[in-house]
Structures are given as structure tokens and as C-alpha cells.
Amino acid sequence: MAGKLTRVAKRVEAAIDSIEDATAAAGSKVQHGLSDTAAAIGSSKVVERVEKQARTSRKAIAKEIARAKKVGKKQVATVKKRAGAAKKATEKVAKKQVATATKKAGAAQKATEKVVKKQVATVKKRAGVAKKATEKVAKKQVATATKKAAGVKKVAKKRTTNR
């Protein structure tokens, strides 16, 4: 359809060009006749039909553009919705991961505290055992020293009494 319009327009243009060439050669009388001819062509039924077809084509094109815009808006809205849903899902996963990491950190801290308490208890126990052992050794040494001192006293007494 657009092709037919273009062909008709080209023929009319070619006709006008050839008329203009003839007018230039013929002078002003032909120029006046050309104006009359252009007016007659402008009011002809062929021109009216071509203009009507052009209006119909413009309307169809405008409808097509409106439909394309509508579809484009829907697609943009859908993409935005999906992006929002993906963002929410990502945030949810991130929160879960943070919660899990916090839980694990808490569990690790408790385990560490438990181990530290055990180590402190073990060290205290060992210190207590070492203290008791040291006290025992010290008592034995005191007892031994006391015995030796008693023996030395006896020997000293004997020596003093024997003299």
C-alpha cells in the first residue's frame, strides 16, 4: 500500500516536473495554466483517495505505537517486580547467613570459655597438688631436720654429761 502511494506520488512529481520544464519554455501563459492544473489535480478524486489512505495508514501506525508502548510498560513493570523479589530473597538469605554465623560464633565462644575454664581448673588443681606436695616435702624436711636436731641434741647432751 505504501509502495503504491510512493509510485503515484513519483508519477505526479514526474508529471509536475515535466510541466514545469514546459512552462519555463512556454512562458507565463503556461504558468497560469499550470496553476489551474495543480488546483484541478488537488481537487481530484484520486488525490482525495490517496489522502484518505494516508490518514488510515497514519492511524494504524499510531495504534501500533500505542500497543508497543503498552507492552513495553508491562515488561518494565514485570522486570521491576522480579528485581524486587530477587532483592528480598537475597536479603532473606543474607539475614539467615548472618544469623547462622552469629550462632556459630556464639557456640565457638561458649566452647572456648568452657575449654578455658577446664584449663584454669586443671592449672588450679595442679597448683593445689603441687602445693600439697611441696607442703608434704617441707613437712618431711622439717621432720627430718627436727629428728636430726634431736639426735644432735642427744649427742651434745651425752658429750656434756660425759665430760
For residues 70 and 3, membership in a common domain is answered with yes
- Of 26, 52, 74, the residue at which a domain comes to its end is 74
Tell me the mean pLDDT in the region 66-79.
90
- Of 24, 47, 74, the residue at which a domain comes to its end is 74
Q: Is residue 126 part of a domain?
A: no
Q: What confidence score (pLDDT) does residue 96 get?
A: 92
Sign of CA dihedral 25, 26, 32, 35: negative
Q: Is residue 13 part of a domain?
A: yes
- Of 57, 74, 91, the residue at which a domain comes to its end is 74
Total domains in the chain come to 2
More confident residue, 77 or 1: 77
What SS3 state is found at 27? Answer: coil
Nearest to 93 by CA among 101, 105, 82, 83: 101
Tell me the mean pLDDT in the region 57-70.
85
pTM (2 d.p.): 0.36
CB 5, CB 60: distance < 8 Å: no
Burial 52-85 (b: 16+ CB within 10 A, else e): eeeeeeeeeeeeeeeeeeeeeeeeeeeeeeeeee
The mean pLDDT of the chain is 80
Q: Is residue 162 part of a domain?
A: yes
Q: What confidence score (pLDDT) does residue 27 get?
A: 66
Tell me the mean pLDDT in the region 137-158.
79
CB 113, CB 105: distance < 8 Å: no
- CA distance linking residue 30 with residue 22, whole number of Å: 8
Q: How many CB atoms lie within 10 A of CB 140?
A: 10
Over residues 16-39, the pLDDT tens digits come to 777 777 666 666 665 666 677 777
Kindly state the cell numbers that stand for 82. 522480579
Q: How many CB atoms lie within 10 A of CB 34?
A: 16
- CA distance linking residue 97 with residue 61, whole number of Å: 53
pLDDT band with cut points at 50, 70 and 90 for residue 156:
confident
What is the residue range of 147's domain? 132-163
Over residues 86-135, the pLDDT tens digits come to 889 999 999 999 999 899 988 989 988 898 888 888 888 888 888 888 88
CA dihedral of 74, 80, 82, 86, whole degrees rounded to 10: 180
Q: What percent of the chain has pLDDT over 90?
A: 6
Q: Is residue 83 part of a domain?
A: no
Q: Is the pLDDT of residue 77 over 80?
A: yes
- CA distance linking residue 30 with residue 24, whole number of Å: 8
